[in-house]
Chains A and B, each alone.
Chain A
Amino acid sequence: MHLLILAILVPFLAAALIPFIHRRLGPVDIGWLVLVIPFVLFVIFAMQIPVISAGDTVTATLNWIPSLGINFTIYLDGLSLILALLITGMGTLVILYSIYYLSPADSLPHFYAYLLLFMGAMLGVVLSDNLLVLYVFWELTSISSFLLIAFWFHRKNSRYGAQKSLLITVFGGFGMLAGFLMLHTMTGTFSVREIVSTIGQYSDHALFYPAMFLVLLGAFTKSAQFPFHIWLPDAMEAPTPVSAYLHSATMVKAGIYLVARFTPIFGGTSAWFWTVTLVGLITLFWGSFCAVRQTDLKALLAYSTVSQLGLIMSLFGMGSAAIHFGDGNEGALYGLASFAALFHLVNHSTFKGALFMVVGIVDHQVGTRDIRRLGGLMAFLPITFTFAVIGSFSMAGLPLFNGFLSKEMFFTASLNAVSLPIFSADTWGWIIPVVAWTASALTFVYCMIIVFKTFFGKHKPEKLDKRPAEPSIGMLIPPAILSLLIVGLFFFPNLLGDHLLRPALNGVLPGITGAAPHITAWHGFNTELWMTIGIVVAGSLLFIFLRHWKKIYALLPEDWTFNVFYNKLLESVEDNSSLLTNRYMTGYLPHYFAYIFSFFILVAGGTLFLTGAFSFDFSTDAAIPSYELILTIVMAVAAVGILFAKSRLTSVLLNGVLGYSIAIFFVLFRAPDLALTQLVIETVTTALFLLCFYFLPEWKPENSPRNVKIRNAMIAVAGGATVTLIALSVRSGKLFESISGYYEDSYELAGGKNIVNAILGDFRGFDTMLESLVLFIAGLGVYTLIRIKGGKETRKNED
């Protein structure tokens, strides 16, 4: 098996093993063992850099369901490699950080198992070539993120945030799945590479635009784009290492990865260009605007992440125009935006990861993240302060830090977009640099808030829970490494640019050469530099007079936010569904049967009637032997007898008569397997009845009004008639060739003479496997419902 396939599977295997290892480990923190996994994976991926930067790609396939074209195919190109390196590299740092961050009271095996699950899922997303496999991993990231956000599940806010992120991201994921299926309908393949190479002929297809918007829906919800951004701030209820990892560096980038990956498919159309660019720009502006008003440092970082994700998204939108122009000077000019997006993607992971870790340290060492209570921490946390300055100034786009370089390229790209002679950008394009500049000024403001409100000003010890001091060295190493990267990338950006970004750009914009520039820190006194200087001046003024203009936030209508909309929607869905459910869930079994059978009669009988499938044909029937006739009469008598039984025991026995008669029928029709199963099931059921007998309530004869009885009788007769009609029609109306001939070869194909078992274990083994899973879950459900009737919870949950 290929090394890279193993790389995806290893985190999953490790996650499954953690509970067993943890118990044997004793006092040793399991985090140290877990740390090895992302580190080794990082080294493995790093070893692929020479291959990828030489322009090659790596593919490997593991058969999954080859008959449906669904295979576990991985495809490593520059784009996947960058994200894989981020996932494993950040993963290493975050795990090192969490070893010191988490307290022993937290359930460490759960934490690391979820984290590894997430890491494997994320690697699967960025490496899968097959759309459906990608989708499976995509939803796995949603689920593992749900588990991580709800890690402190005894807190009400954690549960709320986890539910919100799951609802929104899975909603988008379903849309994306529909888009994938449309792509498959169009192109007949699930392979991204094959779709890229053939999509040109399908741009007029009716499904082209629906597929595009559905895929974008998935990307936007995952990457917290406006208006789906509302889940990200609530996801901050997760432990800080999780926030640093999932909600800034990796998972939220899955949507951006998707947009980048699908740019060769949908890019070059004006719908893609404007949707991605505008949604990105709105998110950029709205995120930075909301970030300024936050008083919780983590919430501020959450909104800043939203805003930065919007920035990257809008850059990919602008860059997609290059596909329209094709290879050449103009294509290269617009392709620069995509290069800037990739560059900023990396930079954002470094500085936002560092900042989250800084905030985690402050929270850990001081006991609060509330800006109103913080201040003057520089004297107590000088090292942390340094990291905070490096991270914030990089995010603000100041020189000496890598954020400056990508920010300048962002301005260049937005100025280029204005001169765009396509997609009517020459009339509306001025929006792009204006929004870019405004949002960057706001970004500057909140970056300054992080640094100055936390570390400067007056120290207020009376408002803090603890006496601040530097944390242990282990918590400082990860942000230190990231800070070094931030500075290092400023001085040697082309190391990254030539070896990683250039091949990655080739994955986003295949065939566009010359779009990857030589990155230089000094580019003369051009518009971009003046824009930056303007940001510093305006941003400083805004920061100084923050108290005066912050009042405008109060002007925003409180009940018109998307959060309120989300809550209202959820509430009304809950209310209405419980209203509806209470109407028909009466807790009265006869009602349920009436619904089920009426529905059945309507659907099955109606279909039979409408399609005219009903037909009688007795000509080929075999004669009915007398013993079969007797058996049938016995069954009919038993069935009718149940209705008039005067005691429960009689009805149980009559029920048994029915069951055993069916078993005899199976014997007569030479189906020993079914007969055996039926007999054993009948026996077990009778045993269950015996067990429950004493606990059942008093037997009461049914005393329903006459009209109810008549209604029930009608439903019963109609139900029986429908089944009979279907049974009679089935044998005369044959639409397809019978499949049973295939199974006759069971001895050749599966080595078993027993066809029933060959079907169960070989031909349709997937059903059997899932059935046993269902059985298992049902068993667990019964066990928990009966054994643990609440009250035994070890941790008190907030309501």
Chain B
Amino acid sequence: MKINDVILKTVSQAGVLIILTFGVYLFLSGHNQPGGGFIGGLVLATAFVLMFLTFDSDTVNKAIPFDFKKISAIGVLLAFSSSTVPMFFGQPFMSQSFGYFNLPIFGKTELATVTIFETGVALTVIGVVVNIITSISEDE
């Protein structure tokens, strides 16, 4: 099916960038403001879905050569292992910790181990959503 989609392609190229930026922002701001791993991951996934919608999957696969199945697997592994690590330091399973550090450019910054956990969640969400949508759309 050929449709004239110049406008769609042009708009989505800009749109994807905005959505990606917004997704990363949401992910990082999650600790103190609305956002977080799940929602950030979902927004990032929509950017990829938009790309798959406007361009054919071969082009997208060339542009982002990730195996989304593996991404979701890595996400689960990350979420799980970040929960087990505290046990090796005498803390209960799944304990998270946070602290304030003085970083060169950012100044006083709060770093929390929960971010690692959230990264895992985000990667899982991205991987699964994109994986499901591409498998459905590529089905003949």
- What residues on B are CB-neighbors of A783 within 8 Å? 69, 131-132, 135
Q: With CB as the reference atom, state the residue of chain B lying closest to A672.
A: B34
A773 to B124, CA, bound (A): 8
A779 to B133, CA, bound (A): 10
A490 to B30, CA, bound (A): 69
CB distance from A662 to the nearest CB of B (A): 16
Which one of A67, A691, A776 has the highest number of Cβ atoms from chain B below 10 Å of its Cβ?
A: A776
- What residues on B are CB-neighbors of A672 within 8 Å? 34
Contact of B75 among A65, A681, A765, A772 (CB under 8 A): A772
Contact of B46 among A684, A772, A787 (CB under 8 A): A684
Interface mask (B88-121 → A, CB under 8 Å = 1, otherwise 0): 1011111010110000000000101010011011
Do A786 and B96 have beta carbons less than 8 Å apart?
Answer: no
Given contacts A754-B31, A772-B121, A786-B136, contact A64 B38 (CB under 8 A): no
Do B118 and A691 have beta carbons less than 8 Å apart?
Answer: no
Interface mask (A747-774 → B, CB under 8 Å = 1, otherwise 0): 0001111101110111001101100110
Question: Is the CB of B60 closer than 8 A to any CB of chain A?
Answer: no
CB distance from B97 to the nearest CB of A (A): 8
Do A776 and B33 have beta carbons less than 8 Å apart?
Answer: no
Question: Is the CB of A295 closer than 8 A to any CB of chain B?
Answer: no
Q: Which residues 70-97 in B have Cβ within 8 Å of A in the complex?
A: 72-73, 75-76, 79-80, 83, 87-88, 90-94, 96
Do A750 and B92 have beta carbons less than 8 Å apart?
Answer: no
Do B96 and A761 have beta carbons less than 8 Å apart?
Answer: yes
Question: Is the CB of A527 closer than 8 A to any CB of chain B?
Answer: no
Do A754 and B30 have beta carbons less than 8 Å apart?
Answer: yes
A786 to B139, CA, bound (A): 7
Do B135 and A769 have beta carbons less than 8 Å apart?
Answer: no
CB distance from A582 to the nearest CB of B (A): 27
Q: Which residues 710-767 in A have Cβ within 8 Å of B in the complex?
A: 750-754, 756-758, 760-762, 765-766
Interface mask (B59-75 → A, CB under 8 Å = 1, otherwise 0): 00000000001001101
- What residues on A are CB-neighbors of B96 within 8 Å? 750, 761-762, 765
Do A750 and B114 have beta carbons less than 8 Å apart?
Answer: yes
- What residues on A are CB-neighbors of B114 within 8 Å? 750, 752, 761-762, 765
Contact of B124 among A72, A695, A753, A772 (CB under 8 A): A772
- What residues on B are CB-neighbors of A680 within 8 Å? 39, 42-43, 46
Given contacts A62-B87, A63-B93, A787-B135, contact A757 B35 (CB under 8 A): yes
- What residues on A are CB-neighbors of B117 within 8 Å? 761, 765, 768-769
Given contacts A72-B87, A762-B96, contact A776 B31 (CB under 8 A): no
A766 to B117, CA, bound (A): 11
CB distance from A635 to the nearest CB of B (A): 23
Do B79 and A63 have beta carbons less than 8 Å apart?
Answer: no
Which one of B50, B128, B137 has the highest number of Cβ atoms from chain A below 10 Å of its Cβ?
A: B128
Given contacts A72-B87, A769-B80, A783-B135, contact A684 B35 (CB under 8 A): no
- What residues on A are CB-neighbors of B83 within 8 Å? 765-766, 769
Question: Is the CB of A778 closer than 8 A to any CB of chain B?
Answer: yes
Q: Give the tally of cross-chain contacts (CB within 8 A).
A: 156
A783 to B72, CA, bound (A): 12
- What residues on A are CB-neighbors of B132 within 8 Å? 779, 782-783
Do B33 and A753 have beta carbons less than 8 Å apart?
Answer: yes
CB distance from A645 to the nearest CB of B (A): 24
Contact of B87 among A64, A773, A776 (CB under 8 A): A64
Q: With CB as the reference atom, state the residue of chain A lying closest to B134.
A: A783
Do B121 and A768 have beta carbons less than 8 Å apart?
Answer: yes
Question: Is the CB of A683 closer than 8 A to any CB of chain B?
Answer: yes
- What residues on A are CB-neighbors of B128 within 8 Å? 775-776, 778-779
- What residues on A are CB-neighbors of B50 within 8 Å? 687
- What residues on B are CB-neighbors of A782 within 8 Å? 131-132, 135-136
CB distance from A778 to the nearest CB of B (A): 7
CB distance from B126 to the nearest CB of A (A): 11
CB distance from B43 to the nearest CB of A (A): 6
Do A754 and B98 have beta carbons less than 8 Å apart?
Answer: no
Do B125 and A677 have beta carbons less than 8 Å apart?
Answer: no
Question: Is the CB of B53 closer than 8 A to any CB of chain A?
Answer: yes
- What residues on B are CB-neighbors of A765 within 8 Å? 83, 94, 96, 114, 117
Interface mask (B14-42 → A, CB under 8 Å = 1, otherwise 0): 00000000000010001111111111001
Do A684 and B79 have beta carbons less than 8 Å apart?
Answer: no
Do A692 and B136 have beta carbons less than 8 Å apart?
Answer: yes
Which one of A688, A761, A783, A787 has the highest number of Cβ atoms from chain B below 10 Å of its Cβ?
A: A761
- What residues on A are CB-neighbors of B139 within 8 Å? 695, 786
Which one of A1, A680, A692, A695 has the highest number of Cβ atoms from chain B below 10 Å of its Cβ?
A: A680
- What residues on B are CB-neighbors of A688 within 8 Å? 133, 136
A761 to B49, CA, bound (A): 26
Question: Is the CB of A780 closer than 8 A to any CB of chain B?
Answer: yes
Do A754 and B36 have beta carbons less than 8 Å apart?
Answer: yes
Do B135 and A691 have beta carbons less than 8 Å apart?
Answer: no
Question: Is the CB of A363 closer than 8 A to any CB of chain B?
Answer: no
Do B34 and A780 have beta carbons less than 8 Å apart?
Answer: no
Q: With CB as the reference atom, state the residue of chain B lying closest to A753.
A: B32
Do A773 and B76 have beta carbons less than 8 Å apart?
Answer: yes
Given contacts A64-B92, A680-B39, A762-B114, contact A757 B31 (CB under 8 A): yes
Which one of A690, A754, A766 has the highest number of Cβ atoms from chain B below 10 Å of its Cβ?
A: A754
Do A750 and B98 have beta carbons less than 8 Å apart?
Answer: yes
Question: Is the CB of A66 closer than 8 A to any CB of chain B?
Answer: yes
Contact of A687 among B26, B53, B93 (CB under 8 A): B53
- What residues on A are CB-neighbors of B49 within 8 Å? 684, 687
- What residues on B are CB-neighbors of A766 within 8 Å? 83, 94
CB distance from A221 to the nearest CB of B (A): 29
Question: Is the CB of A327 closer than 8 A to any CB of chain B?
Answer: no
Do A761 and B136 have beta carbons less than 8 Å apart?
Answer: no
CB distance from B86 to the nearest CB of A (A): 9
Do A754 and B32 have beta carbons less than 8 Å apart?
Answer: yes
CB distance from A545 to the nearest CB of B (A): 62
Which one of B37, B43, B93, B137 has the highest number of Cβ atoms from chain A below 10 Å of its Cβ?
A: B93
Q: With CB as the reference atom, state the residue of chain A lying closest to B30.
A: A757
Do A63 and B92 have beta carbons less than 8 Å apart?
Answer: yes
Question: Is the CB of A673 closer than 8 A to any CB of chain B?
Answer: yes
A657 to B98, CA, bound (A): 41
Do B38 and A677 have beta carbons less than 8 Å apart?
Answer: yes
Given contacts A1-B88, A754-B34, contact A776 B75 (CB under 8 A): yes
CB distance from A432 to the nearest CB of B (A): 48
Question: Is the CB of A58 closer than 8 A to any CB of chain B?
Answer: no
Question: Is the CB of A603 closer than 8 A to any CB of chain B?
Answer: no
A787 to B69, CA, bound (A): 13
Interface mask (A292-334 → B, CB under 8 Å = 1, otherwise 0): 0000000000000000000000000000000000000000000
Question: Is the CB of A596 closer than 8 A to any CB of chain B?
Answer: no
Contact of B76 among A673, A683, A772 (CB under 8 A): A772
CB distance from A368 to the nearest CB of B (A): 43
Do B112 and A687 have beta carbons less than 8 Å apart?
Answer: no
A773 to B79, CA, bound (A): 9
A67 to B136, CA, bound (A): 44
A778 to B131, CA, bound (A): 11
Interface of B toward A, CB cutoff 8 Å: 26, 30-39, 42-43, 45-46, 49-50, 53, 69, 72-73, 75-76, 79-80, 83, 87-88, 90-94, 96, 98-99, 110, 112, 114, 117-118, 120-121, 124-125, 127-129, 131-133, 135-137, 139
Q: Could you pull out 14 A-B pairs where Cβ atoms are within 8 angstroms? A: A62-B87, A676-B26, A676-B35, A677-B42, A751-B110, A757-B35, A765-B114, A769-B83, A772-B76, A772-B121, A772-B124, A775-B72, A779-B131, A779-B132
The 8 nearest A-B residue pairs measured at CB: A751-B98, A779-B128, A672-B34, A753-B32, A761-B114, A772-B124, A757-B36, A752-B31
Instruction: Given contacts A64-B92, A754-B35, list 6 more A-B pairs with CB under 8 A.
Output: A677-B39, A683-B46, A750-B112, A760-B37, A776-B128, A786-B136
